[in-house]
Amino acid sequence: MRLGKVYLVGAGVGKIAYLTVRGHQLLTQAEVLIYDALVESDLLTLVPETCLKLNVGKRGGLPSTDQRTINQLLVAYCLQGKQVVRLKSGDPLIFGRVNPEIEALQQANCPYELVPGVSSALAAPLFAGIPLTDKNLSRCFAVVSGHEPDLLDWQGLSKLDTLVILMAGKTLGEIVAKLQEQGRSHSEPIAIIRHGGSSQQQVWISTLGDIVDQIAGVALSPAIMVIGEVVNLRMIDASSRPLDGQTVLVTRAAEQSSQFTLMLQQEGAKVIEMPALEILPPSSWQELDTAISQLSSFDWLILTSANGVKFFFERLYHLGHDVRALGGIKLAVVGKKTDSVLKNYGLKADFIPPNFVADSLVETFPESLTNKKVLFPRVETGGRDLLVQELQKQSAQVIEVPAYQSGCPSKIDPEVWQALQQKTVNIITFASSKTVQNFYQLIKQELEANYLEAIPAILERVQIASIGPQTSKTCYELLGRVDIEATEYTLEGLTDALIKKQLIL
């Protein structure tokens, strides 16, 4: 049997760009990957598709894998002849709990190799623009764990120029009190850097006297604290992006890729996608099939959503037709996204209302609708009827046919629920009233009887962003407020609105 080996690799601060060359090489060759919770998902894309990936992360207050089990996994896969990568955040020998794992490997005669990584203790201050040393203000610094403050020599630590403290999210108040008891000034600068070096990095700058009140209620894991006059030397990176440090929850349809996510990421945001819609075929194809068989009798085909376009053309092709069947029909679409999807089928809309909303379609329609026969494939239930009513007021003959259904997922995504509970989400975006309704339903379902009091608490520090007036109306009805509304009712417009809001803050 081939000899296995375990590589204890430091993942650094998370981004592939800051991984060591050796670490990158080993990940691309791994047969088994055993990784921590703080390792960013981007690194997991480096391993082969055949690699077995095991998440053994330890997070306070959440279910986690005990150290004995981790040791057993490392030994077992090594003895099977596997190339095992044990991926640990930062550097494996700096607060990495690696000693028990090495002891287990040594006892089992398993070969291993240590691969260094960039510790967050050094990298996070750098990413925040804070120098740990300065010829005048800081000739030394110490790195300590704040997990158990009572075990530290605060009399000695208080005499050092600069302190870097890890794992102190829950003990900040105690640490501040101990430093002040030893004579550190209330006005001494402190910086807290959460998720240093990642797309969701956040930095708080304050003083020992004010910091506890300033971050009250904020989940500070994982975070690095820097205490000392060097904090006042902070240099702001001119290349920073407007949404750096913001975690945006994007409500979307399940299984649909999100161009919106890419736009937000390009502006620096960390994006969590929440499936809030399930898009399905209609309960019956009969009405749509009948309309397709009579296409030549229609004057206009109106499409108000990307899903409407997709399901209409899929059914058209299924019935043995192609786009030539639309030769005598004019096409009207609402929204840039709908128009973009239509172009994928080689067609160009004859009319797009200027405000990108259905309500403006009738107001700006390019010709009289009197006696015009209009085909309107739409969502089966839950859609707004105003467009149909306005078309009929203009003496149009409107044939509505169900083209798809939109429903609510049965349960909220666990990652989303955890992020909301831990208050790591800064902004929630809604691109339709339906996503607002389903978001509310899913949160209500989790909170059960206490939802009326608990929903405002869950959303207390979160900005609610809407794509336009109709979506905002539903936000006010169910969530009580809207903090950001796009002036152009498109995803590009919503992205611009988020950017403008952050530039003001």
In the β-sheet with 427-430, what is the strand arrangement from edge to edge? 330-333, 300-303, 373-379, 397-407, 270-280, 247-253, 427-430, 463-466, 484-485
Q: Is 167 a catalytic residue?
A: yes
φ, ψ (nearest 5 deg) of residue 121: -60, -30
Place of tokens 């287990």: 104
Q: Which of 58, 336, 373, 444 is catalytic?
A: 58
Tokens of 479: 């969530």
How far is Cα 378 from Cα 374, in angstroms, rounded to an integer?
12
Say whether 139 sits in a helix, a strand or coil. coil
Neighbours of 207 (CB within 10 A): 16
Secondary structure of 262-304 in the HEC alphabet? HHHHHCCCEEEEEEEEEEECCCCCHHHHHHHHCHHHCCEEEEC
CA distance 457 to 116: 42
Catalytic residue (choose from 91, 167, 225, 337): 167
Question: Cβ distance 386 to 394 under 8 Å?
Answer: no
263 given a catalytic annotation = no
Residue 36: active-site member: yes
The answer to whether the CB of 315 falls within 8 A of the CB of 285 is yes
Active-site hit among 36, 161, 244, 339: 36
Largest CA distance in the chain: 89
**C-alpha–C-alpha distance, residues 337 and 356, integer Å:** 10
* Segment holding 456, helix H or strand E: helix 451-458
- Which residues are annotated as catalytic? 36, 58, 167
